[in-house]
Amino acid sequence: MKHKLLSLALALCLCLGLALPAAAASSGYSDIPSGHWSEESVMRATQLGLFGGIGDGKFGRGQPITRAAFVTAMVRLFGWKEVTPTKASYTDVTSERWFYTAVETARANGAFPSTSGTFRPTDNITREEMASMLIRSLGYASLAGVADSYPSPFTDVTVSQGFITLAYDLGIIGGVGDGKFAPDKTATREEAAAMLVRLYDRLYSRSAILSSTGSYTKITVDTPAAKEGDSIPTTPLEPIADLYDQLRSAKNRGVNLSRCVLCLTAGGVQTTTSDGKILSTDTLTADEVEEILARDGVRTYYSTRYESAYCIYAPNRYQSATVWYQSDESLAAKLQLARLFGVTYYTLS
């Protein structure tokens, strides 16, 4: 009897010993050892519902991830409303395939150019493709054009340079060492998890308004001056490209962005013209903008190029006025870009 009990105890110890490596990994996966660089990212990606394992208690460390699988995780991250058209946009992404809705949803939200033909869903995704999809999903394709004029942070990037530069500036991606990015390298599951978690943490952080700038470093963007002869005087508040430039410059100077405050305009700028000539340019308070917007016949517009709202109205029979103002939409867009850089404080004046 004692012999049987001893054998049972030894067997139990052996079983526990075999289970120890899996239990020691806080990620919850036996193939992500404790202390591995991806441990926290994989754990967070799983908790957030972006990724799951491949079965048998494994995450699939070192394994490639397909374009369809990455897009599926990306749709979950952005929380987009599902799109399921009756007609497929791609010949190789048909309605009976498990990734059909995810690919169509991502396409509808601008995650990749709206071209027809094939999507290559089962191809392994590259590091360049991941970066480009994420920047497009954020609505920053035009900002990538701005970033294309900046020096690349990597020596081996020749394609999608603006997208990769912007993704690097936002802290979404990193290099592989020696100043290289390896854009054509197939991405692994843990690399994809790390990239998505980095974006999630900044994208869904909260912005806090301050009553004054205090001891914080101010990030300010000038409003462009109206130019004579412009059909619509262009004076957008804190143009998004200029804001990107200011945030990027502060980051490159080594400024502690967590101790910065973004200074935004609460009201607007009105330019009054007559016969194409500028009569005056005036700064308006938020209350004055609200009064103008409440008038009859005021036409409102929104510029995604500048991420700024504007309206046009006639003060009298002889004049036209254009008011660029801070709307909820423009404020949200600017605060999002600031958060992606790590700036979570702002003022409105």
Q: Reduced to 3 states, what is the DSSP secondary structure of residue 60?
A: coil
- Residue 32: what pLDDT? 95
Using the structure block, give the residue that is written with the tokens 């000539």: 277
- Residue 252: what pLDDT? 96
- Would you say residue 22 has pLDDT above 60? no
- Would you say residue 27 has pLDDT above 80? no
pTM, to two decimals: 0.88
- Would you say residue 7 has pLDDT above 60? no
List for the chain the helix, strand, coil content (%; round to 5): 40, 20, 45
Confidence of residue 228 (pLDDT cuts 50, 70, 90): confident
Q: What whole-number distance in Å separates Cα of residue 66 and Cα of residue 208?
A: 38
Name the amino acid, one letter, at 228. E
Using the structure block, give the residue that is written with the tokens 């441990």: 39
- Residue 23: what pLDDT? 39
pLDDT in tens, 258-313: 999 999 999 999 999 998 899 999 999 999 999 999 999 999 999 999 999 999 99
Length of the chain: 349
Confidence of residue 115 (pLDDT cuts 50, 70, 90): confident
- Residue 5: what pLDDT? 37
Confidence of residue 26 (pLDDT cuts 50, 70, 90): low
The DSSP secondary structure of 296-319, one letter per residue, reads: TT-EEEEETTTTEEEEEEEEETTE
Neighbours of 96 (CB within 10 A): 5
The residues that bridge with 333 in the sheet, in sequence order, are: none
Return mean pLDDT, the chain. 91
- The mean pLDDT value for 192-216 works out to 96
Q: Reduced to 3 states, what is the DSSP secondary structure of residue 55?
A: strand
pLDDT in tens, 139-179: 999 999 999 999 999 999 999 999 999 999 999 999 999 99
Please list, in sequence order, all residues whose beta carbon lies within 8 angstroms of the beta carbon of residue 156, skipping any fewer than 6 positions away.
180, 181, 182, 183
- Residue 231: what pLDDT? 79
Gap between the terminal Cα atoms of the chain: 84
Which H or E element spans position 332?
helix 328-340
Please list, in sequence order, all residues whose beta carbon lies within 8 angstroms of the beta carbon of residue 174, skipping any fewer than 6 positions away.
168
